[in-house]
Structure 1
Amino acid sequence: MPATSNRTPTPDIAAQITHAMRMMGVAPIPRNYELYYEAYLGSNSQLSKELATLGSRATQDELDEIGARHFSHIHHSRGIERAHSTMAAKLCELVNLLKDEQYALESYNKVLDEAYLNMTNKSAASADILRHAIGILSEATADTMSQGKERVQSVVQKSVEMEAIRQELDEYKRIANTDSLTRLANRRAFDDSLAAIYNSEHVRNFTGLLLADIDHFKKINDSFGHPVGDKILATVANVVRANLRRDVFVARTGGEEFAIILRDSTQEECLQAADRIRTILASAPFKNTKTGVNYGAVTLSVGVCMATAADDPVDLYNKADIALYAAKNAGRNRTVLFEEGMRKDVGRNWLIYRR
């Protein structure tokens, strides 16, 4: 069942949640609102239990701890700052270790110079010179080797710690590039991937951009409420992701629009992929099995443009967008390939998405 919300919230859901937060002494800030919004929907039973356990007058630290577990995309910036600070501290420690090693080597060089001077001193007896020089070298070498082993061990440990921090930062980057609702890549990640197409002539020659937009999505939100609309968005994302190769880049670029970057693909393969997703989605049932509410068919309009038909990333996006608009204008639930003639006759008209 694609959408499973067991209640249809009243239009003043925001006011109800805000009132409840105020009664419990919870600050009405965005990250707190999201916690209580999810609890209201009942879509996360563990979250609801944890908030209930806190009771009234929960502290902000307690709420942030829950938020960090359930909504890392909201709280990841604090973790990034902490990881960067730790990384900086470890780097300083490593630099200091290397400085100590340099100092030890400089000291050892001075000892060697002293031994050389003693050995070349013509006024001292040969046996005394050798005995004294060997004593100096033995002691200095032993100390230097001992210190060197300790520093090697310290450098290895610091390297292990820094690798762990690097992995933590990579995870924060992944979170920062992920859409929290659909778990697809977000607009930030899409912009980077779109730009990368034009870094290689080979990639450009075999890459297509697909822009897909859910038809009449505003009507869905108006009829059934935004919580149902969110669940439908998540379901559409799952359908799109499940019917493409694992290496294909898929993003939610805003609202009800999705972007697909198909590399190593011909124009025909791009069109086939677009039609496959569109056909499968149109036949999928969108019904609440608990209440019996049928949300009706959910369809996509898709615009396709090959990278070779555009001069740069911005031009590619604009042309795929023109093709998407053409699909909307032609009746929706269809795939349209960009053609140069469209530029003269078709322009972006945001009003079509408000119908």
Structure 2
Amino acid sequence: MTTPVQATPPGWSHARAAWTMVAVTLMWSIAGVVTRQLTGAQGFEVTFWRSFSTALALLVILPAWQGPRWFRAVHWTNKALLLSGVCWALMFTAFMLALTLTSVGNVLVTMAVGPLLTALLARLAIGHRLPVRTGWAVAVAGAGIAYMFVRQFNAEGALAGMLVALGVPIGGAINWTIVQRSQAHGERVDMVPAVLVGALISTLATLPLALPFAATPADLGWLALLGSVQLAIPCTLCVLCARVLKAPEVSLLALLEVIFGILWAWLGAGETPGNEVLIGGFLVVGALVVNELLGWRSRQAAPRIQTLEPNIGD
């Protein structure tokens, strides 16, 4: 997630931000197991109620967090904010639909390619240089996803679910690129209001497709939990964490969602991950971890090289 440059939250140490980010991934990871508890709501209705609950939760969180005048402080006419909201709406819709079509493991591993797709799009759209290590990571992760696709080609719903799940990392990559271009031109995008815009767009777009409603009272409770605890609250906390942690740290900690999510679905819904998920997931997550660690090491070494250069001729 890309956040506007703001002051570090008072009293937030690095350790506190890191542990908060772990808690964020735990909250994100409950989506699959909670969805498996639904008995009446299906398809677009699941997305509708989750997005509606997210919007309600953020309408409570934003004034509590940023003050009663938060609405006036947001530049609602900013095109980047609106486009970011459209991307969030795509991500919300694709994620929940994918969970109704295929296993939690398939969805989470497919989503995990997001940082690599973002790097590719940034190279094409705004000229960011793509390091060799990232190119190799894209190739390895792509092989992992391809393996999952091929192995489950004839599995009912699996292929469709993974194709729909690709909408999440694609939407995320476009979202990041939009925000970066906007900030490069001096326009900051506040990501939490952008999430609110996305929730509202998703709610309105899926309402006609969700009718007639079939959700039970228990379903509504589960979906309200997703909208608030699984999405609105962790998204807000992630913004705070990103002001303290470095981008590679956030990316690496965010990968815990894949592990936690598959574990919750296994323990809470009996979804034992298949070999194709384990092998494909190992390739995808492994490629991401190695890429981030090498990038981190490179960035850490750069200042030392620059410091030593003036002394080479002494």
Q: Could you say which structure has the higher strand fraction?
A: 1
Give the TM-score range, shorter chain: under 0.3
TM-score (norm 1): 0.23
Q: Could you say which structure has the higher helix fraction?
A: 2
Higher relative contact order (CA 8 A, sep 6+): 2
TM-score (norm 2): 0.25
